[in-house]
Structure 1
Amino acid sequence: MEHEVKHDQDDLRFYIVIDEEEAELTYSYTEEDTMDFDHTFVPESARGQGVAHNLARHGLDFARENNCKAIASCPVVEAFVKRNPEYNDIMLWP
């Protein structure tokens, strides 16, 4: 089931509302053109349904569309990129 991902640029997060709870992917800007994806949270009732995958894809697509590089401080985003190497061109790895 695909959920609508919303982007709150003021709070620096992508989120999905699921049954009155929120799943989110937060980020910060380390430089004007570098986004650090630092935390993913999915409510227990929604885990295993591809929600984190959906958030990571939207976040990384936003970075690409805005000519930003990305850092995967969050292990969920790191795992997503390792499974989806089409994002390697925008990643900054330590």
Structure 2
Amino acid sequence: MTIRITREDSGSKGRFIAHVDGQAETGEMTWSRLSSSRIIVDHTGVPDSLRGLGVGAALARHVVDTARAEGFTILPLCPFLKAQAERHPDWSDVIETIGR
């Protein structure tokens, strides 16, 4: 199984979309730009048909990798991304904590 992630960017808002081979439905992670160096991730959605396939985790890894490559930080307001970040302290270079 392959998960391919694409990006839609409309300036101040956007989303990463996870496409799973052989599946019609997609997962998504939505974000809003705070500045050129900060985004808020506010939602991760994975339909029931894709649950258990690692789609949410793939989206989380992708946004972290993108932040590192493009030089921005992430404020995780999405409960899923926040929980993933707590499990991955090695993401602290790009994941902000509330109050930081």
> What TM-score, normalized by structure 1, do the two folds share?
0.90
The residue number in structure 2 matching 1:13 is 15
Contact 2:75-2:95 within 8 A present in 1 as well: yes
Q: What is the correspondence of 1:40-59 to structure 2 with a 5 Å cutoff?
A: 40-59=44-63
The residue number in structure 2 matching 1:33 is 37
The residue number in structure 1 matching 2:85 is 81
Amino acid at match of 2:19: V
Flag structure 1 segments of 5+ consecutive residues without an equivalent.
none
Most deviating of 14-23 and 41-50:
14-23
Indicate the percent of aligned positions where both proteins have the same amino acid. Answer: 32
Distance 1:26 1:42 in 2: 12
Q: Does residue 1:71 correspond to 2:50, yes or no? A: no
Amino acid at match of 2:41: F
Flag structure 2 segments of 5+ consecutive residues without an equivalent.
none
> What TM-score, normalized by structure 2, do the two folds share?
0.86
Output the aligned Cα RMSD: 1.3
